[in-house]
Amino acid sequence: MSAAPPNVGSADPRLLGRAVKRIAYGAPEIAWRVDELGAEITAAYPDGELLVLGLLKGSFVFLADLVRQIRRPLQVDFLVASSYGVGTSSSGEVNLVYDPETILEKKHILLVEDIVDSGRTLSRLVDVLQLRGPKSIEICALLHKHIATELRYPTRFIGFDAPNEFLVGYGLDHAEDFRHLPYVASLA
Ligand code: IMP
Ligand code: MG
């Protein structure tokens, strides 16, 4: 039933009658890459406690698939950050709307993000999380636009080097729509 390739354009009933320009990454390609990332992450953490921290909402689909490809013990929690001033000022202040209760101390933290754009959100978050004494903090992003001028930390695990276009699907939204697309599409 779900074997048919996704339709690009208004023919896909998920698209609210709107057209997407093109599919940037199809579901099979994403599944294949997430599988590889899971293997990379498994190999990168031979020991210690691992806490996978998903940045909501955008990471929820990616995180759900990713953790099932990591073959070692781990725990999962989430963060909700809200940024102020984005697009209107360069203050780059990030507020934690939901702060995980899980203890970070002495654990490996893997911060999972949907897409790295300016890198502002992640830089501030890593600063905040560093204060809690984790053993390590690494970033895993499904997509990276490589235009991040404000990212002060390297993204250790990257799914795809994304084009500088507005992308939706597989967790990524435009005004809260399109998160449920099983593929990543470029918005027309
Ligand atoms: P940054 O702090 O500028 O790196 O912003 C990252 C956040 O902006 C991501 O977590 C997304 O929620 C959002 N974002 C950036 N680029 C896109 C895009 O192409 N599509 C959808 N959301 C995006
Ligand atoms: Mg978003």
User: Is residue 7 assigned to a domain?
Assistant: no
User: Is residue 2 assigned to a domain?
Assistant: no
Respond yes or no: is residue 177 known to be catalytic. Answer: no
Residue 173 CA to ligand 1 centre (angstroms): 9
User: Using a 6 Å cutoff on CB, does residue 54 contact ligand 1?
Assistant: no
**What pTM, to 2 d.p., does this model score?**
0.90
Distance CA 45, CA 71 (A): 10
**Model pLDDT for residues 43-94, shown as the tens digit of each residue:** 999 999 999 999 999 999 999 999 999 999 999 999 998 765 444 444 556 7
Looking at residue 15, the DSSP 8-state letter turns out to be G
Number of domains in the chain: 1
What's the domain range around 81? 30-173
- Identify the residue whose C-alpha is closest to ligand 1 atom 15: 117
Enumerate the β-bridge partners of residue 174.
Answer: 177
User: Using a 6 Å cutoff on CB, does residue 181 contact ligand 1?
Assistant: no
How far apart, in Å, are the Cα atoms of 58 and each of 48, 81, 152, 175? Answer: 27, 11, 21, 12
User: Is residue 179 assigned to a domain?
Assistant: no
User: Is residue 102 assigned to a domain?
Assistant: yes
Residue 178 CA to ligand 2 centre (angstroms): 11
The residue annotated as part of the active site, out of 117, 127, 161, 173, is 117
User: Is residue 149 assigned to a domain?
Assistant: yes
CATH number of the domain that 167 lies in?
3.40.50.2020
**Model pLDDT for residues 120-166, shown as the tens digit of each residue:** 888 889 999 999 999 999 999 999 998 877 778 899 999 999 999 99
| Lowest-pLDDT range of 35-39, 48-52, 97-101, 102-106 | 97-101
Residue 88: what pLDDT? 40
Residue among 140, 143, 172 whose CB has most ligand 1 atoms within 8 A, to mutate: 172
List, as ranges, residues with CB under 5 A of the ion ligand 2. Answer: 58
Torsion of CA 45, 46, 50, 53, to 10 degrees: 20
Q: What is the DSSP string of 74-91?
A: -EEEEEEEEEESTTT-S-
* For residues 85-107, average pLDDT: 72
User: Is residue 163 assigned to a domain?
Assistant: yes
User: Is residue 11 assigned to a domain?
Assistant: no
Q: Which band of pLDDT confidence, cut at 50, 70 and 90, is reported for residue 173?
A: very high
User: Is residue 183 assigned to a domain?
Assistant: no
Q: Which band of pLDDT confidence, cut at 50, 70 and 90, is reported for residue 101?
A: confident
Q: Which residue has the tokens 């993204």?
A: 155
